[in-house]
Structure 1
Amino acid sequence: MDLDAYVVANAHEWARLEQLVRAGRLTGPQGDELVDRYQQVATHLSVIRTAAPDAEVVAYLSSLLGRARIKMLGARVLSWRAAGRFFTQQFPAALYRLRWWWLGTTTGSVVFTGVMMWWLVEHPQVEQSLLSPQEVDALVNHDFESYYSSSPAQDFASQVWINNAWVSALCIALGILGAPVFFLLWTNLSNLAVVGSIMTRHDRGDLFWGLILPHGLLELTAVFVAAGVGLRLFWSWVEPGGVSRAAALARAGRTAITCVLGLVAVLFVSGMIEGFVTPSPLPTWARVGIGILAELAFFAYVFVLGRQAAAAGHTGDISADLLEDRVATQS
């Protein structure tokens, strides 16, 4: 290959990528162009390394691609096309491919909570060791119900969204260690079981479920998904499956990041329900119905759209265009 002719033929592509990298904040179309130019230049680098490995040209293109990748991570946020791909392909595919991890976590958590709640109802002396009679009376007759209207709806929704997103992020971030995931689940589920058993034993079970179910179905499902993804992250380095532990962990970690970003949106929906629907004057059946519809919509999203995305080859990993230069710079 005539390297000089190749450089002349493609120099305008490199110059345009350089312009985009040096530009300020990019618009959506410019962000899309940045991704396209990145792929083109990565291909050029691969060709040069294979056919005419000139050290100066390779160094320049490698540096340009490195700077473009950093720029791209910010520019892609502004791309509606990238956002659409994320929510119709990457995120649902990740949820579908990891379904057995989070479905198993969900099943185990529901069984654990149910058994613990039943045991606490049958052993009222435990309640007496946890709360004083005055605290139980306040919880049953006032505190539990008033909690959901303790702040303006928009403020309350924001608070629970941030809190639940933080818990979910912790489940994934600490999942690499395994044990912290079970501790986080224990902390949240034991609190639910204790409050539920107290409300049930004092004949306020209808109030408890009427306030928990509207938002709790989707909210807890999101937490269980995060826990399952965290445990999968742990398992990726325990049993890497034919690749190095570093490669398996990196792949699982990238998919986990996809899940974190997607769950922020899921928890935003549950936060809106908790802030505006749960404390609303709607009849209980209507509030619970909204919660059930939101949960069914999530499962349809995973098992219809996610299944289709997975069948089309999407994995939930970072898009191939962001990994392209890793292949192109191999020797």
Structure 2
Amino acid sequence: MKQSLFESRHQPEWQRFSQLLEQLERRRAKAEDCLSFPQDYRRLCQHLALAQERGYSSYLIDPLQQLALRGHQQLYRQRTPLSAKVLGFVLAGFPRLVREQWRFVLAAGLLFFGSLLGFGLLVYLFPDLVYSLISPEQVGAMQSMYDPDSSRLGRDAARASSEDWVMFGYYIMNNIGIAFQTFASGLLFGLGSVFFLFFNGLMIGAIAGHLTQIGSGQTFWSFVIGHGAFELTAIALAGAAGLQLGWALIAPGRLPRGEALLQASRKSVQLVCGVMLFLLIAAFIEAYWSSLTWPAPWIKYLVGAALWALVALYLIFAGRTAHAPE
């Protein structure tokens, strides 16, 4: 059914429902007028679902969504506090969204982690490859930072708590910059997100492979394994959100590209909100745990493995229960 016919057929119902909503919101509705409200609300939700399924424009879907939201609030007469909404998103909404967008998440994960592991292995087997991507000066700086015989990393780890707070802020800004770059560049028909996912994977893989090959692997891996669970996952998810934007421009379906992009951006922005949470956690771990030198490497590996398992279990299983908060 064409959108124009759908609108003309149901517009009178929507107008009546809107008028009744205004009366309910002003506490002026008569009891007899409210008897059909639950049925009218369910019918409006059916119309909204049909409009979304058929790919109608946002000029129709957005007003219906607003009516459905207002109707839900009046039907249950219970305002959900902002804190409850945030908690619901963290505990259930975000992992459900990641699973819903699994195709983009899988593509981003293959690009990022595939290039990281692949190039890291190549650099480990052929050490000179690192200089094809990273300058000798940068390589020297990385070697000095993670040299097991150097005290530089220990001095960094022994900094005062006030300096930990400064580094916490630095890590947040740096990580958010990388994630936003990876996400926003998806507007270039997804090519920007593909590039940054692949490039960042190559860079991290080159550093990891080189440091492991020269004998600094324990210093490097014990430092990054903890916060890497959240940080690397966040970069991949930011890329997935960018790929979603790019795909809306490449394959908009029956919608104009602008409308398709608008619809895709709603979910991709929600995905990025979860990415920001992951980056916040990663920055906290990096500033207050990863830089510590007193734990033995095996302790850091154990904690890092637990954090990777926690991230995986959260994204796979959180929000699957029928009564998970919205």
- TM class by shorter chain equals 0.5 to 0.7
User: CA offset at residue 221 of structure 1?
Assistant: 0.8
Match of 1:164 among 149, 169, 175: 175
CA distance in 2, matches of 1:182, 1:7: 45
> Is residue 290 of structure 1 aligned with residue 303 of structure 2?
yes
Structure 2 counterpart of 1:198: 210
Provide, for residues 266-296 of structure 1, a one-character-per-residue CA deviation record: whole Å limited to 9, x for no partner. Answer: 1111111111111122222222222222222
User: CA offset at residue 238 of structure 1?
Assistant: 1.2
What is the total number of aligned residue pairs between the two structures? Answer: 263
> Does 96-105 or 239-248 show the bigger shift?
239-248
The code of the aligned residue for 1:221 comes to T
* Cα pair 1:165 1:267 within 8 Å, conserved: yes
CA distance in 2, matches of 1:7, 1:270: 46
Structure 2 counterpart of 1:300: 313
CA distance in 1, matches of 2:303, 2:164: 17
The code of the aligned residue for 1:300 comes to L
User: CA offset at residue 77 of structure 1?
Assistant: 11
Structure 2 counterpart of 1:49: none
| Change in CA separation of 1:88 and 1:114 when aligned onto 2, cut-off 3 Å | closer
| Change in CA separation of 1:183 and 1:292 when aligned onto 2, cut-off 3 Å | same
The code of the aligned residue for 1:153 comes to D
CA distance in 2, matches of 1:77, 1:8: 24
The code of the aligned residue for 1:99 comes to W
CA distance in 2, matches of 1:10, 1:176: 38
RMSD across aligned positions (CA): 4.1
Match of 1:86 among 84, 89, 92: 89
Structure 2 counterpart of 1:272: 284
> Is residue 176 of structure 1 aligned with residue 182 of structure 2?
no
CA distance in 1, matches of 2:136, 2:244: 37
* Cα pair 2:241 2:269 within 8 Å, conserved: no
CA distance in 1, matches of 2:304, 2:140: 32
Structure 2 counterpart of 1:227: 239
DSSP 3-state at the match of 2:195:
helix
* Cα pair 1:94 1:306 within 8 Å, conserved: no
DSSP 3-state at the match of 1:226:
helix
Match of 2:99 among 89, 96, 99: 96
User: CA offset at residue 233 of structure 1?
Assistant: 1.6
Tell me the TM-score normalized by structure 2.
Answer: 0.66
CA distance in 2, matches of 1:106, 1:87: 21
> Is residue 209 of structure 1 aligned with residue 221 of structure 2?
yes
CA distance in 2, matches of 1:136, 1:167: 19
Structure 1 counterpart of 2:262: 250
> Any residues of structure 2 matched to 1:1-331 within 5 Å, and which?
13=24, 15=26, 79-127=82-130, 130-131=135-136, 135=141, 138-141=144-147, 142=150, 152-177=163-188, 178-280=190-292, 281-308=294-321
User: CA offset at residue 226 of structure 1?
Assistant: 0.9
CA distance in 2, matches of 1:137, 1:295: 26
The code of the aligned residue for 2:302 comes to G
* Cα pair 1:153 1:276 within 8 Å, conserved: yes
| Change in CA separation of 1:176 and 1:192 when aligned onto 2, cut-off 3 Å | same
* Cα pair 1:181 1:230 within 8 Å, conserved: yes
Identity %: 20
The code of the aligned residue for 1:131 comes to P
The code of the aligned residue for 1:176 comes to L
Structure 2 counterpart of 1:73: none
CA distance in 1, matches of 2:18, 2:124: 77
Provide, for residues 18-46 of structure 1, a one-character-per-residue CA deviation record: whole Å limited to 9, x for no partner. Answer: xxxxxxxxxxxxxxxxxxxxxx9xx8xx9
| Change in CA separation of 1:101 and 1:146 when aligned onto 2, cut-off 3 Å | farther
| Change in CA separation of 1:148 and 1:123 when aligned onto 2, cut-off 3 Å | farther
CA distance in 2, matches of 1:134, 1:307: 48
Provide, for residues 58-109 of structure 1, a one-character-per-residue CA deviation record: whole Å limited to 9, x for no partner. Answer: xxxx9xx89xx9xxxxxx9971222233223432221111123223322332
CA distance in 2, matches of 1:243, 1:114: 39
> Does 230-239 or 87-96 show the bigger shift?
87-96
* Cα pair 1:236 1:248 within 8 Å, conserved: yes
User: CA offset at residue 250 of structure 1?
Assistant: 1.5
CA distance in 2, matches of 1:159, 1:307: 35
* Cα pair 2:115 2:198 within 8 Å, conserved: no
Structure 1 gaps, min length 5: 17-39, 47-61, 70-75, 320-331
The code of the aligned residue for 1:258 comes to Q
